[in-house]
Amino acid sequence: MTATGGTERPPANGDGTRAVRAGLPEPVKNEPTLPGPVFAAHFHLPGDVSGPYTYGRDENPTWTHLERAIGELEAPGPAAVPCLTFASGMAAISAVLFSQLRAGDAVVLPSDGYQVFPLVREQLTAYGIEVRTAPTAGDAQLDVLDGARLLWLETPSNPGLDVCDIRRLADAAHARGALVAVDNTLATPLGQRPLELGADFSVASATKQLTGHGDLLLGYVVCADAGPAAAVRRWRKIVGAIPGPMEAWLAHRSLATLELRVARQNANALAVAQALRGRVTGLRHPGLPDDPSHAVAARQMRRFGCVVSFELPTRARAERFLDALDLVDEATSFGGVRSTAERRGRWGGDAVADGFIRFSAGAEDTEDLVADVLRALAESSG
Ligand SMILES: *Cc1c(COP(=O)(O)O)cnc(C)c1O
């Protein structure tokens, strides 16, 4: 495609189209489609200081392309939204919390959120910030919102896969003068667009399905408004939790297959969930029509994610099941092209039963994956 006069660019309306083209610079003759990683601690800077590229902790052209790409996926449309990438999901989460909150503020976190939250809570409390928690299910965070400065949502929640109503909670928070951040890790921007549902920040670990190969850590923050975005950018400069150019470039390269991976992986998750129906307890996947999360998820999500959770009767049974799987690696994390599963209770911290399994569907052939899961389930029952 060339940007010559009179030739209209085809609109990138479909997710697959948007994913393969996201963040690409204007074509330049004899240059690559996606320029390679720029390794630079400093840039030539004679005379007075002017941007865009001065010092490698502040800006990097490889981040710029990736940040445009993620912004286009999180908030498609003519106006680019501010996006900042970070060294990890936790760096992105911390950047929002610690740039927006001051001593004396109150923040509402999910009680069933990502497992590092108890540590985050300790740190916030040590800085004089009041931390309130309530479960994701049933929009229970509504009940503790009064006087809060920031509402933090994680939907679907990890690992319990409960879902809350982003629009309803965002309206309630804004009516009380609070900002709203949504952890969009599990859904990915193809599954859910929090800014369109009223959130001020969409924050995620790009380590998971967004990049999908289990080979890098990365995080991002997308902001609805320039003011909060400037504070997040300032925090990144202070803390220096910046992505390496190689990781940023690998992430951008991985975005080209996002729609393909999500389509296969999420279909596999639903197939595994359907195959497990009646064979396990506590089966959860927001895409199952009878899941407690399904009604709200179907209203605000466009895809339901690649994670399935369920319980086996005992820890020993769960360990035998994981051991018997051939196509599923026993590993933490989720969202990769190779299926993984783990007994979540082995970490401590999450309020889950001993036999609770978090299963992340990869991009294997559906029949192969379902057959492996059912075989391992049968073999482990003895
Ligand atoms: C993994 C994860 C994080 C943390 O991301 P890192 O890239 O590991 O720092 C935050 N939130 C959720 C929901 C996650 O799954």
State pLDDT tens for residues 95-150. 999 999 999 999 999 999 998 999 999 999 999 999 999 999 999 999 999 999 99
Which residue of 86, 93, 114 sits with most ligand 1 atoms within 8 Å of its CB, as the best mutation to test the pocket? 114
Query: Domains, the chain, ranges and CATH?
Result: 15-255 (3.40.640.10), 258-379 (3.90.1150.10)
Structure tokens at 346: 């082995």
Question: Quick one: residue 165, left, alpha or beta (phi over 0 = left, psi -120 to 50 = alpha)?
Answer: beta
The Cα–Cα gap between 152 and 107 comes to 8
Which residues, at least 6 apart from 39, have a Cβ–Cβ distance to it below 8 Å? 245, 246
Ligand 1 pocket member 219 (CB < 6 A)? yes
Residue 357: per-residue pLDDT: 97
Report the range of poorest mean pLDDT among 13-17, 201-205, 262-266, 353-357: 13-17
Q: What's the 153 CA to ligand 1 centre distance in angstroms?
A: 13
Q: Evaluate if residue 233 carries a pLDDT over 70.
A: yes
Q: What's the 185 CA to ligand 1 centre distance in angstroms?
A: 7
Write down the mean pLDDT value for the chain.
95
Structure tokens at 265: 């992986």
Provide the residue type at 219 as one letter: G
Q: What's the 218 CA to ligand 1 centre distance in angstroms?
A: 9
Mean pLDDT value of segment 219-239: 98
Residue 12: per-residue pLDDT: 55
Ligand 1 pocket member 64 (CB < 6 A)? no
Ligand 1 pocket member 112 (CB < 6 A)? no
Q: Evaluate if residue 7 carries a pLDDT over 70.
A: no
Q: Evaluate if residue 6 carries a pLDDT over 60.
A: no
Residue 13: per-residue pLDDT: 74
Q: What Rg do the C-alpha atoms of the chain give, in angstroms?
A: 21
Q: What's the 115 CA to ligand 1 centre distance in angstroms?
A: 9
Mean pLDDT value of segment 276-282: 97
pLDDT band at 351 (very low <50, low <70, confident <90, very high): confident
Q: What's the 79 CA to ligand 1 centre distance in angstroms?
A: 28
Cα angle vertex 188, ends 186, 124, to 5°? 60
Which ligand 1 atom is nearest residue 218's CA?
7
The Cα–Cα gap between 256 and 222 comes to 19
Q: Evaluate if residue 355 carries a pLDDT over 70.
A: yes
pLDDT band at 1 (very low <50, low <70, confident <90, very high): very low
* Residue 2: count of CB within 10 angstroms of its CB: 8
Q: Evaluate if residue 344 carries a pLDDT over 70.
A: yes
The Cα–Cα gap between 352 and 315 comes to 11
Which ligand 1 atom is nearest residue 157's CA?
13
Which residue of 205, 216, 360 sits with most ligand 1 atoms within 8 Å of its CB, as the best mutation to test the pocket? 205
Which residue of 117, 158, 218 sits with most ligand 1 atoms within 8 Å of its CB, as the best mutation to test the pocket? 158
Q: What's the 156 CA to ligand 1 centre distance in angstroms?
A: 13
Ligand 1 pocket member 293 (CB < 6 A)? no
Residue 4: per-residue pLDDT: 39
Ligand 1 pocket member 208 (CB < 6 A)? yes
Q: What's the 367 CA to ligand 1 centre distance in angstroms?
A: 30
Q: Can you give the pTM of this predicted structure?
A: 0.95
